[in-house]
Homo-oligomer: A and B are copies of this chain.
Amino acid sequence: MNPLTYAQQQQAQHLQELIEFLRLPSISTQEKHNEDVAETAVWLANNMTQAGIENVRVIKTQRHPLVYGDWLHAGSDAPTALIYGHYDVQPVDPIELWDSAPFEPDIRDNYLYARGASDDKGQTFLHVKAVEAYLKTEGKLPINVKFIIEGEEESGGESLRAFIPANKELLTANVAVVSDTGMPSPQQPAITYGLRGNCYVLMDITGPARDLHSGSFGGGIDNPLNVLGHLIASFKDQEGHILIPGFYDDVRPLSDEERALLAQFPMDEAAWLADTGAPQTWGEPEYTLVERIGARPTLDVHGIIGGYTGPGGKTVLPSTVHVKLSMRLVPNQDPADILAKFKAHVLAVAPPTVSIVFHQRGGAPASVCNLNHPAMKAAAAAFTAVFENPPVFMREGGSIPVVGQFQQYLGLETVLMGFGLPSDNLHAPNERFYLPNFYRGIETSIRFLAEYGRL
């Protein structure tokens, strides 16, 4: 029996195993679930061992364990793929908006509903099942494979970030494969070849030492919330152009070829807008919407809290206000350089009536993968064969920091083979995975391993 036939015959069994995997509430950001996360790592390691994967280990870290496994008998000429995924999931709040319990997987209309179904247990697991299909039929793989599956992707990823540079030998490979992205529709596969980076900053802006009565002090003491307004207005104009000096200095301009590629992306702008509920789309008028959300840098304020925020009114002139914001970066912006420019701008613009404390929270460079890498071509061929439609190449506006770390520490390009759909409700109630994409994902991974072994 060949691996593809095996995968088709085993669909019910694979689904049953995925449901077991999804029953485990591996919410990495909530300490009360620490044991659940640990149990999930063990469950996954056992499943990988049963699939025939070798050297499977649950690796302790400062927080949540990593799961490693490999199969390295394809020969020294064969390439090695490092397959990454994560077994941890987002919290489930607001729980009352779920139509079925988040950890009691439920199938409705060909969708499997559960927290983590798409992000990322389902997409991780399909590679395990593809490898199983080879090992249970042919007893070998076309290429060498290593798995590194983390349990902290939804809560900072610090442990893997520390593990990679300390374990370069263990993780050495020719390419990384990550399935933690999506495709625009079930008929249209996609390979994400570019990810924005980011630079996240928290600021505390302090004026007076205590909240003051605005009647007695207003007009004579500056107000940190008023100052914050001026700062925000100085970051970006109302068309979306960032005003921080030097911000665009290192931005690699979009080439004509790249713009042509992005223009092929089948984006239904009206449907996309309707999904957001916003009155209209917005952004730099000299770029298309696809370019603005995937290939252009941005700055967004994510949260502000300051002054009196309870019911009714109170006339305080607040002491300290807190703001969170991030900048999405594109090639070749350096997060450290951008952070320095941001801070310099804030300190130049902020009046002497306030003091500002910065807290950085992570930063990752953007990444763009080489479309001519053999693994990229193998992935495209695999998608084309399974979906009977060639993939589009897209740039994703979000960040997957591990892609930058694979590049930085291991020198690896990453192929992002995504099987999620825009309606998967990631990080939201009623997360789901389109079941045909689970089965096609296994087949695509099987074909990818073969194609990459051949190229």
Contacts and interface: CB of A to CB of B under 8 A. Distances in A.
Nearest to A239: B351
A441 to B, nearest CB: 21
B229 A301 contact: yes
Given A215-B328, A305-B304, A278 B209 contact: yes
A278 B222 contact: yes
Contacts of A293: 216-220
Given A308-B324, A309-B304, A200 B315 contact: yes
A289 interface: yes
Contacts of A426: 213
A384 interface: no
A377 interface: no
Given A276-B208, A276-B209, A300 B214 contact: yes
A212 interface: yes
A343 interface: no
Contacts of A198: 215, 315
A313 interface: yes
A362 B312 CA distance: 10
Given A292-B219, A353-B282, A228 B229 contact: yes
Nearest to A327: B218
A355 interface: yes
A301 B226 contact: yes
Contacts of A305: 304-305, 309
A285 interface: no
Contacts of A351: 238, 282
Interface stretch (A15-23, A79-87, A145-153, A391-399): A391-399
Given A208-B277, A210-B277, A219-B397, 19 more contacts: A214-B397, A215-B397, A218-B300, A221-B281, A223-B301, A225-B304, A226-B236, A226-B299, A229-B233, A278-B353, A279-B354, A279-B355, A302-B308, A302-B317, A302-B318, A303-B316, A307-B324, A312-B361, A313-B362
7 contacts: A218-B397, A225-B232, A229-B230, A277-B319, A278-B353, A302-B316, A308-B324
